[in-house]
């Protein structure tokens, strides 16, 4: 092991990690609320809205995220719609992940028995109070495992931004590996991804434990 | 006094109630019995605002109420569901407090005091911090009763209160309902458990004897 070499490429890898984390965090922070809103729309009684949202979810889940990225960044300019690299990334990732989250939350909402809504109604709770105090806390618990899977996927999917030439963790490693003709940067990249997913797995376990106080 | 006047209710072309009238006097404990599918639960859901009425009127102390459409009228008839429908993520005290604190905007300290008193009366004082899954069926039912009573309803209705209980617990809840009756509470017990009704001996109305289950009292 050449420690000297490792130390020399560390700043590049750290900067790449930072970009990866920005993509990861921004996507999560925006796509989870959007997914909740979409899932509520999917369960609204209003047919046109349901139709549009179902089409959106179907499109996002039925085509590769890589295609969506390329479509937005390289395709749309052909019809005079331009996004800078990071905007294209956020748009594609948020839309894509919100669709997955919407499906998960829709399932979670479906799991709440009608009787819970009935109980809330006879207790005079407003629809908003019912959602906030009765429905949402139970849905959160039930969706943690599925959401957790998507969160782990997102860490790895973030490397797809490579095709737009964004300097994420993977690109940083790949540049160093090609330049210095060595595997070490790629191994380090793998280690960083492993560390991130391990950390998230641990966080998700803790969250599950936190919600294990009731059944 | 709760009055049902000329109530009509159908699901599709299945008529459940036709010009149905019923008066529940204050302090009355009334049993509503009838075979499965007669419409007992439907009656209870109509007076609690969970099911719309096709036509007819609900009057509470002479004033028309519409708990289905009007949230201000909800909670006037409290209900203990057949399967209780406690909120599993809330402890016993929070289950009882949710109505007074969030719907009635009662001061939390005052509401807590009232809730603790209710829980003590119902023998649940030691369980205030337990979650529903930690309780027996009979205890869960008493939490459901406390939760309904916390809103100080004019009438407390029970749907099949013995269906989830073993015989010993059935005797307990019969005692509880008799005790409430002695205290002058207005109660409506919907059941097809005749031995249970015999333990309480309330005034009894039978619904749904006709083959087509159209009901009139
Ligand atoms: N939402 C609904 N849509 C259509 N039909 C319904 C609905 N709710 C109840 N029914 C029908 O109305 C009739 C009365 O139902 P209800 O649940 O009130 O009977 P019940 O007397 O409570 O019976 P049980 O003793 O089995 O609880 C039944 O035939 C039932 O299938
Ligand atoms: Mg019933």
User: Exposed (0-12), middle (13-18) or buried (19+): which is B164, by Cβ within 10 Å?
Assistant: middle
- Closest C-alpha residue for ligand 1 atom 4: B11
Question: Is residue B214 lining ligand 1, measured as CB closer than 6 Å?
Answer: no
> Are residues B79 and A133, on separate chains, in Cβ contact within 8 Å?
no
- The distance in angstroms from the start CA to the end CA of chain A is 50
User: Concatenated DSSP letters for A62-83?
Assistant: HS-HHHHHHIIIIIGGGGT---
Closest atom of ligand 1 to B43 CA is 18
Q: Which residue has the tokens 């090609």?
A: A178
* B191, β-bridge pairs: B33
Q: Given this model, what pLDDT does residue B117 score?
A: 97
User: Concatenated DSSP letters for A12-39?
Assistant: HHHHHHHHHHHHHHHHHHHHHHHHHHHH
Domain with CATH 3.40.50.300 in chain B: 26-55+63-76+153-216
Please determine, looking at this structure, whether the domain spanning B26-55+63-76+153-216 carries the CATH number 3.40.50.620.
Answer: no
pLDDT at residue B212 tops 60? no
Q: Given this model, what pLDDT does residue B214 score?
A: 45
Question: Is residue B32 lining ligand 1, measured as CB closer than 6 Å?
Answer: no
Please determine, looking at this structure, whether the domain spanning A3-213 carries the CATH number 3.20.10.10.
Answer: no
Closest residue in chain A to residue B51, using alpha carbons only: A118
Mean pLDDT over residues B85-102, rounded?
Answer: 97
Q: Given this model, what pLDDT does residue A1 score?
A: 61
Number of helices (H), then strands (E), belonging to chain A: the values are 9, 0
Closest atom of ligand 1 to B45 CA is 18
Q: Which residue has the tokens 């699901």?
A: B11
pLDDT digits (tens, 9 = 90+) for A99-137: 999 999 999 999 999 999 999 999 999 999 999 999 999
Q: Which of A122, A124, A138 has its CB closest to that of B88?
A: A138
Dist CA B170 CA B164 (whole Å): 9
B41 Cα: distance to centroid of ligand 1 (angstroms): 7
Mean pLDDT over residues B54-59, rounded?
Answer: 96
Mean pLDDT over residues A196-203, rounded?
Answer: 97
Mean pLDDT over residues B24-41, rounded?
Answer: 92
Distance of CA A103 to the CA centre of its chain: 13
Tokens standing for B17? 């109630």
User: Concatenated DSSP letters for chain B?
Assistant: -EEEEEEEEEETTEEEEEEEEEEE-TT-EEEEE--TTSSHHHHHHHHTTSS--SEEEEEETTEEE-TTT-GGGTTSEEEE-TT----TTS-HHHHHHHIIIIIS---HHHHHHHHHHHHHHTT-GGGTT--GGGS-HHHHHHHHHHHHHTT--SEEEEESTTTT--HHHHHHHHHHHHHHHHTT--EEEEES-HHHHHHH--EEEE---STT--B--
CB atoms within 5 A of ion ligand 2 belong to B 41
pLDDT digits (tens, 9 = 90+) for A22-63: 999 999 999 999 999 999 999 988 999 999 999 999 999 999
Ligand nearest to the CA of B37: 1
């Amino acid at each position: 092991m050449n420690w000297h070499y490792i130390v020399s490429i560390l700043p590049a890898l750290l900067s790449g990690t930072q970009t990866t984390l920005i993509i990861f965090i921004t996507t999560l922070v925006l796509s989870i609320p959007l997914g909740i809103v979409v899932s509520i729309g999917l369960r609204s009684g209003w047919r046109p809205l349901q139709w549009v949202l179902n089409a959106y979810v179907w499109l996002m889940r039925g085509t590769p995220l890589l295609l969506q990225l390329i479509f937005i960044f390289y395709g749309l300019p052909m019809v005079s719609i331009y996004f800078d690299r990071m905007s294209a990334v956020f748009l594609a990732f948020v839309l894509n992940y919100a669709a997955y989250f919407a499906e998960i939350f829709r399932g979670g909402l479906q799991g709440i028995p009608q009787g819970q809504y009935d109980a809330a109604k006879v207790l005079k709770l407003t629809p908003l109070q019912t959602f906030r105090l009765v429905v949402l806390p139970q849905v959160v618990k039930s969706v943690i495992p599925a959401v957790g899977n998507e969160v782990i996927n997102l860490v790895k999917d973030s490397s797809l931004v490579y095709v737009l030439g964004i300097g994420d963790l993977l690109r940083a490693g790949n540049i160093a590996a090609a330049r210095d003709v060595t595997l070490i940067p790629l191994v380090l990249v793998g280690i960083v991804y492993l560390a991130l997913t391990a950390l998230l797995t641990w966080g998700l376990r803790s969250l599950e434990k936190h919600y294990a106080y009731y059944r | 006094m709760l009055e049902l006047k000329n109530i009509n209710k159908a699901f599709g072309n299945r008529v459940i109630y036709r010009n149905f009238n019923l008066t529940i006097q204050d302090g009355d404990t009334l049993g509503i019995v009838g075979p499965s599918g007669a419409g007992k639960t439907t009656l209870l859901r109509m007076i609690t605002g969970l099911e719309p009425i096709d036509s007819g009127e609900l009057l509470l102390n002479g004033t028309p109420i519409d708990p289905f459409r009007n949230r201000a009228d909800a909670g006037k008839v409290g209900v203990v569901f057949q399967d209780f429908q406690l909120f599993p993520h809330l402890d016993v005290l929070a289950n009882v407090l949710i109505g007074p604190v969030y719907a009635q905007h009662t001061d939390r300290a005052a509401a807590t005091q009232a809730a603790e008193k209710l829980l003590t009366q119902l023998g649940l004082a030691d369980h205030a911090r337990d979650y529903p899954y930690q309780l027996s069926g009979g205890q869960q039912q008493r939490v459901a009763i406390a939760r309904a009573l916390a809103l100080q309803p004019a009438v407390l209705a029970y749907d099949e209160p013995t269906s989830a209980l073993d015989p010993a617990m059935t005797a307990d809840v019969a005692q509880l309902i008799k005790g409430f009756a002695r205290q002058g509470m207005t109660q409506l017990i919907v059941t097809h458990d005749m031995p249970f009704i015999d333990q309480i001996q309330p005034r009894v109305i039978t619904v749904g004897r006709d083959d087509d289950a159209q009901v009139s009292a």
